[in-house]
Amino acid sequence: MEPDVSIETGAMIRVAVLPIGHIPASLLRDYTSMLLRHHTIALSAVSSFYTEHQKSPFANQPWDSGFLRFSFVIGGCTSSPWEDFQSNRKIHSVIGICHCPSSPDLDSVTDQFNSACKGYTSALVKRCFAFCPSDSQLEDGSKKEGNLILFPPADRQTQEFHLNTMVQDIAASLLMEFEKWVLKAESTGTILKTPLDSQASLSSEEVIKAKKRRLGRAQKTIGDYCLLAGSPVDANAHYSTALELARLTGDYFWYAGALEGSVCALLLDRMGHIDPSLIDEVKYRYNSVILHYRKSSIQDNTQRVSPLSFELEATLKLARFLCRRDLAKDVVELLTNAADGARSLIDASDRLVLFVEIARLYGAIGYHRKAAFFSRQVAQMYLQQENRLNAISAMQVLAMTTKAYRIQSRATASEELLNDDVGSISANSGKVHHHSVVSLFECQWSTLQMVVLREILLSAVRAGDPLAAWSAASRLLRSYYPLITPAGQNGLANALANSAGRLPSGTRCADPALPFVRLYSFPLLPSQADIVKRNPAREDWWVGSVSSGPFIYTPFSKGESDDSAKRELIWVVGEPVQVLVELANPCGFDLRVDSIYLSVHSENFDAFPISVNLPPNSSKVITLSGIPTSVGQVTIPGCTVHCFGVITEHLFKDVENLLLGAAQGLVLSDPFRSCGSMKLRNVSVPKISVVPQLPLLVPHINGGDGSIILYEGEIHHVWIGLSNAGTVPVEQAHISFSGKNQDSVISVAHEMLKAFLPLKPGAQVMLPITLKAWQLNMSDPDTLSGRNGLGSTGQHFKDGNSPSLVIHYSGPITNSEDSTSDGNIPPGRRLVVPLPICVFQGLSFVKARLLSMEIPAHVTENNPIPTFGESDSSEDVAGSEIKMDKLVKINPFRGSWGLRFLELELSNPTDVVFEINVSVQIENSLSGDNLVSDQDAAEFCYPKTRIDRDYSARVLIPLEHFKLPVLDESFLLRDSSADGVSWSGSFSEKNAKAELNASIEKLISRIKVRWQSGRNSSGELNIKDAIQKALQTSVMDVLLPDPLTFGFRLVKGHAEVSDNVETLNSKNSVLANEITPMEVMVRNNTKELIKMSLNVTCRDVAGENCVEGSDATVLWSGVLSGIKMEVPPLQEARHSFSLYFLVPGEYTLVAAAVIEDANNILRARAKTNSPDEPIFCRGPPFHVRVVGTA
Amino acid sequence: MATTACFIIVSRNDIPIYEAEVGSTVKREDAAHLHQFILHAAQDIVQDLAWTTSAMFLKAIDRFNDLVVKLFLNLVSIHTRLMLLHDSRNDDGIKSFFQEVHELYIKTLLNPLYLPGSRITSSHFDTKVRALARKYL
């Protein structure tokens, strides 16, 4: 079988082209390509070289429209045994090609050529073309006669013209030779033999038959020559005769041959005018040709030589003729039949040719998968012979199938994609390519794909092409690792390594192997270097700009518009950046990635390679870094990986597609999930722009990076140093705070920073900051109220509770002309310095409660009721007390009825000693002095309370000065509402509550508990909540006065008596057995008149009423009970009486009153429910000390 | 008689969603590959044929050596094709086989968890197909 047969093959003059002498391959290719261009020579061009020696047998030669066709066989071939049967199989001419500079001796060239020609007995015309002869050779050659033709050195065009002329000359010579041959054959006849005949035993009958046949065969052969001579009409005439004769003699083989020739003649005759009827005619005739060839092969079935190849060739010829999309069905049928015939072919090379042709034809009608199938069959045939050349052929054939099996190497795929784009419009319709969709997912016909890739690998290894082997192995490993056993994976890894060993180092391959690389994230710039876009229109340029970080939400942009759908990253020239990528090695061997770095095509980025080891079935997130080198955009399509000795580029997009396919079940497996990596949301590569250098502030907290340990409430000063580590000065800077516990920063030296601007590169500024440690567990008031003091144990490290110092700063605005165009302003930066405060629990508050103290007052001459209105008598009292003794705060004569103490119980769970200093600020408009009551439960006279570690102590705070002067409606309204009694007051409940709270607040704010520990730490205890809690319930009692205040005093008129008493150092004591005039004073604290009935009782130490009864020890004059009084608002009323004590000792005077016609205020104060209930007021007890002898 | 048969379901996009060697001959790996290769190559012909015929069952659309490719087109989604490569002549049996498998495939399609066009991984389907193959082929 011959390759590349078509119907027209019958009309082609076969010319052997032989290289003579040594010719460099490239030159030979050059010369032959020049020659090959002249495969068709018009008869009109030939005519000038043609001389008619005798009458031409080609009577109907179309001199003006006909052609001679050449088929050049480069390198020559052996003569075919069938050349008598088909004359076009003969080599009719030999052309030698010689490159003169490499073969100087023209004589030897001629000799070589002549000896080469000896092999071609059928050759009628022989020429040797010698190119590029030197001058001497030209001279030498011009003398010589013969076949050597010298082509003088000239430009290509001239040479081609020269060559064209020579070929025309050859054509003319051949034409004349053909005429001679035909004339000879017509006159004398010729013996024509085929391998079919040679075996036939010549019986007598056979001989006669053969004679008859000979005539027909001669006619057929003459027809062949007519075809070669370009005269289809003559050929047709001879073929008709031959057909007739062959039919008569039953010579089916030659009949088919003649028929084939007649079709060829028909086609040549109708050159260029192919219409459906012609196609039908050709189809019909060729089917008959095939039929007759088959008949002949059946007939000669016994013979060793089968004409089957002619049948197949005829099939292929017809298929090639019909090879169009719309006739695909016919072609498929023909080719399927041809493929069936392959099994009967004995010669392996015939089968090879057949399959090659079938594959080509399928490819031509667009059946790529069919073509691939037969190509693979061809490759397998090549692979059956284990030598290098066959392996190379196999590899090349297989490489052609990769597109159909969708396992293309990326290098060829990208080329073809380009071609597809160009030719997509002209692409044949009907055939729907899902390439774009399907190519995303490579594992569809995985079995086939793996088989083909393995075969490519095998052939490449055998052919000694390490790069192709590497590429095939990498494709196999990357796409089909789930289908390959660990041992197979290891084998592939070895194949990769072996191939790489034969490759020069630094070889690049378009097909990535392992690992799988996907984008993990673009890490946020460190908070020190965060970039903020500048809003040039505003003074505070950082407002309204979103952080450059990859997070849509950042705490810093809280409350601002978060509609930044397109993420954008800003990198700074010269500052290293990092990108996180995840690598996966789903295979069963240790993978060593020699180097991996970001692959950036924009050429303004220096990537730093790193090397990674990946254990089997593992994934790893690694950080790839680099430095942007110039301003502009940066795109990162993937990573460049140097693994298994070859450099490949791994695109993120591929892996994304793979993962997408895995999600849809189209791809075998997700390499990352199989490695145990978490499913990751798709990270898209953001738009990255590089901006010019920016200043860079580096913070430094004085005293080291360790956290500042503070006790709750401690006040501390910190120095923060800011140095500019960039190359651009800082021109603007602004400090703000963020995070929790912002109020713990008391002051920052804003002006100091401003004063240092612009901060030159390398310069440093120190900023003082005053901090006050916050309370721990502020959200849990129960803990603070002290019921469970253990609740607030433990240390709180800096767990996000610390506030952060946020400094927005920026460099200079580059140029004035740049600033006009918006967006060219270099961005500013934000420095976030978390203040590393670690707050320890300091003094803890255990309990706060109100204690009341009832110390009865002594009855004296002084007015016992302080008048709040005009002159502050209490102040007088206080003043006298201060004169007397600074530390004694309780006036024993006034008593302390109604005096309350706030007792704070503090515990010290820490390791240090605390000293507590409680101060109460007294609200006093007149003096305004702060009465510092340093009191302690244990040591009265020490100003500070010392609490040792693990101890607790109580601090008392007197609250006596908090009483309000007037019992007002407003307070009672609150009171009543608190009690739930509906009250038609003018105040809204809300207002009232707020006012109450305000008054409590005021009360509390006057109490300050300061502490000091050691020499350095001091602070304040936040006890507001605790006190408030303690006061909440009894605030009424603390704040509100009773409606009536009672008091007793000795009447002044008794002075002479008291003079004696004073010698006893008790001017306020009363003598026994003496009439003692006294007054009971009642003060109305309300704004309304109060009517009442007053009673005065006197009790002795035992509490017995000593005024009434049979054994009364006290005699009295005046009225002591049922005294009706009316006290005007805010006024006092007095009632005088006298007592006569019979027995010296301690007596207690108590005044009590029943208020008549009480109004609602009073009722509310007394917390009575029914209006009929009498309101009873009782004053504090007053002591009377009666001295004397019984 | 030992038969060779390879059954395959091809979805749109020409992706095989189910493959099974249902022949009774001893399995050889390279033979299995060859079957798939033939079926893959037959796609070209199927693609053209599917648009020119209204028949659901197409006999012998392609052949290589003794192996014949038969085709059953799915009406539900025209692009899904059931293809059988075999070397037997039992056309009726093959037709019944196709019909039954088609029914099975429809049932699979009705499964809301099955994404049309993805691989059929159900072992139940596999077992059923093999049982049908034993019955009819």
The CATH number of domain B5-136 is 1.20.120.80: no
Mean pLDDT score of chain B, rounded to an integer? 76
Considering A657, A691, A725, which residue would you say is the last residue of a domain? A691
Count of the separate structural domains present in chain A: 6
Residues A1160 and A1175 reside in one and the same domain? yes
- pLDDT reported for residue A151: 81
From chain B, pick out residues whose CB is under 8 angstroms from the CB of A376.
Answer: 37
pLDDT at A983 over 60: no
Q: What six digits make up the tokens of A1045? A: 């205040």
Instruction: Find the CB nearest B41 among A328, A372, A438.
Output: A372
The CA distance from A368 to the nearest CA of chain B, in Å, is 7
Instruction: In whole angstroms, give the CA distance from residue A1149 to residue A1078.
Output: 11
Considering A840, A866, A885, which residue would you say is the last residue of a domain? A840
- pLDDT reported for residue A1032: 64
How many contacts (CB atoms, under 8 Å) link A and B?
Answer: 73
Instruction: Tell me phi and psi for residue A173, to 5 degrees.
Output: -60, -45
Confidence of residue A1120 (pLDDT cuts 50, 70, 90): confident
Q: What six digits make up the tokens of A722? A: 């800011």
> Where does residue A514 rank: exposed (0-12), middle (13-18), buried (19+ CB within 10 A)?
buried
- pLDDT reported for residue B87: 75
pLDDT at A26 over 80: yes
Better-predicted residue by pLDDT, B75 or A1055 = B75
pLDDT at A816 over 60: no
Confidence of residue A162 (pLDDT cuts 50, 70, 90): confident
Considering A1008, A1039, A1070, which residue would you say is the last residue of a domain? A1039
pLDDT tens track for A383-407 = 888 788 888 877 887 877 777 777 7
Q: Mean of the pLDDT values across residues A290-300?
A: 73
Confidence of residue A870 (pLDDT cuts 50, 70, 90): very low
Q: Mean of the pLDDT values across residues A482-489?
A: 81
Q: Which residues of A865-902 are buried (b: 16+ CB within 10 A; e: fewer)?
A: bbebeeebbbeeebeebeeeeeeebebebbbbbbbbbb
Under 8 Å CB-to-CB from A528, ≥6 apart: which residues? Answer: A696, A697, A698, A699, A831, A832
- pLDDT reported for residue A744: 72
Residues A674 and A821 reside in one and the same domain? no
Question: DSSP character for A243?
Answer: H
From chain A, pick out residues whose CB is under 8 angstroms from the CB of B83.
Answer: none
Preferred mutation among B18, B19, B37 to probe A, highest tally of A CBs within 10 A = B37
Confidence of residue A862 (pLDDT cuts 50, 70, 90): low
Query: CB of A79 within 8 A of CB of A205?
Result: no
Residues A44 and A175 reside in one and the same domain? yes
Lowest mean pLDDT among A615-619, A986-990, A1135-1139: A986-990
Q: Mean of the pLDDT values across residues A78-92?
A: 78
Question: DSSP character for A489?
Answer: H
Chain A residue at shortest CA distance from B51: A430
Q: Mean of the pLDDT values across residues A853-872?
A: 54
Residues A884 and A758 reside in one and the same domain? no
Residues A781 and A850 reside in one and the same domain? no
**Preceding omega of A856 cis (within 30 degrees of 0):** no
Chain A residue at shortest CA distance from B36: A448
Asked, for residue A119, whether it belongs to a domain, the answer is: yes
- pLDDT reported for residue A554: 53
pLDDT at A606 over 60: yes
Task: State the sign of the Cα–Cα–Cα–Cα dihedral A97, A102, A106, A112.
Answer: negative
- pLDDT reported for residue A936: 33
Residue A843: name the closest of A739, A726, A713, A670 by CA. A713
From chain B, pick out residues whose CB is under 8 angstroms from the CB of A343.
Answer: 65
From chain A, pick out residues whose CB is under 8 angstroms from the CB of B64.
Answer: 339, 373
Domain that holds residue A806: 697-840
Q: Mean of the pLDDT values across residues A916-938?
A: 45
CATH code, domain carrying A389: 1.25.40
Residues A41 and A117 reside in one and the same domain? yes
Residues A738 and A834 reside in one and the same domain? yes
| CB contact (8 A) between residue A369 and residue B62 | no
Query: CB of A98 within 8 A of CB of A131?
Result: yes
Instruction: In whole angstroms, give the CA distance from residue A152 to residue A150.
Output: 6
CATH code, domain carrying A1061: 2.60.40.10
Instruction: In whole angstroms, give the CA distance from residue A508 to residue A641.
Output: 10
> CB pairs under 8 A, 24+ apart, for A1115-1118?
A1115/A1139, A1115/A1140, A1115/A1142, A1116/A1140, A1117/A1075
Under 8 Å CB-to-CB from A358, ≥6 apart: which residues? Answer: A316, A335, A338, A339, A374
Instruction: In whole angstroms, give the CA distance from residue A816 to residue A809.
Output: 19
Confidence of residue A958 (pLDDT cuts 50, 70, 90): low
Asked, for residue A267, whether it belongs to a domain, the answer is: no
| CB contact (8 A) between residue B65 and residue A437 | no
Question: DSSP character for A1179?
Answer: P
Q: Mean of the pLDDT values across residues A368-387?
A: 82
- pLDDT reported for residue A887: 36
- pLDDT reported for residue A1097: 83
Residues A720 and A576 reside in one and the same domain? no
| CB contact (8 A) between residue A447 and residue B19 | yes
Mean pLDDT score of chain A, rounded to an integer? 71
pLDDT at A967 over 80: no
Under 8 Å CB-to-CB from A530, ≥6 apart: which residues? Answer: A524, A547, A548, A549, A829, A830, A831, A832
- pLDDT reported for residue A864: 55
The CA distance from B92 to the nearest CA of chain A, in Å, is 24
Lowest mean pLDDT among A85-99, A216-230, A699-713: A699-713
pLDDT at A884 over 60: no
Q: Mean of the pLDDT values across residues A994-1017?
A: 69
Asked, for residue A997, whether it belongs to a domain, the answer is: yes
pLDDT at A354 over 80: yes
pTM for this model (two decimals): 0.62
Preferred mutation among B48, B87, B111 to probe A, highest tally of A CBs within 10 A = B48
Instruction: In whole angstroms, give the CA distance from residue A135 to residue A140.
Output: 8
Residue A808: name the closest of A576, A564, A528, A575 by CA. A528
Q: Mean of the pLDDT values across residues A407-433?
A: 48
Instruction: Tell me phi and psi for residue A458, to 5 degrees.
Output: -60, -45
Query: CB of A173 within 8 A of CB of A125?
Result: yes
| CB contact (8 A) between residue B40 and residue A664 | no
> Where does residue A646 rank: exposed (0-12), middle (13-18), buried (19+ CB within 10 A)?
buried
Instruction: Find the CB nearest A368 among B32, B44, B45.
Output: B44
Q: Which residues of A916-930 are buried (b: 16+ CB within 10 A; e: fewer)?
A: bbbbbebeeeeeeee
CATH code, domain carrying A53: 3.40.50
- Pairing, β A708-711 against β A837-840: parallel
Asked, for residue A787, whether it belongs to a domain, the answer is: yes
- pLDDT reported for residue A1006: 67
When mean pLDDT is compared over A34-38, A802-806, A1050-1054, the highest value belongs to A34-38
- pLDDT reported for residue A959: 61
Asked, for residue A138, whether it belongs to a domain, the answer is: yes
Confidence of residue A538 (pLDDT cuts 50, 70, 90): low
Residues A43 and A60 reside in one and the same domain? yes
What percent of chain A clears pLDDT 70, i.e. is strictly above it?
67
Residues A832 and A819 reside in one and the same domain? yes
- pLDDT reported for residue A175: 85
The CA distance from B93 to the nearest CA of chain A, in Å, is 25
Residues A166 and A309 reside in one and the same domain? no
Under 8 Å CB-to-CB from A220, ≥6 apart: which residues? Answer: A238, A239, A242, A246, A254, A257, A258, A261
Preferred mutation among A330, A369, A434 to probe B, highest tally of B CBs within 10 A = A369
Instruction: Tell me phi and psi for residue A915, to 5 degrees.
Output: -120, 130
- pLDDT reported for residue A1057: 41
Residues A1000 and A1072 reside in one and the same domain? no
pLDDT at A1157 over 60: yes
Only one residue has tokens 């759908």, namely A565
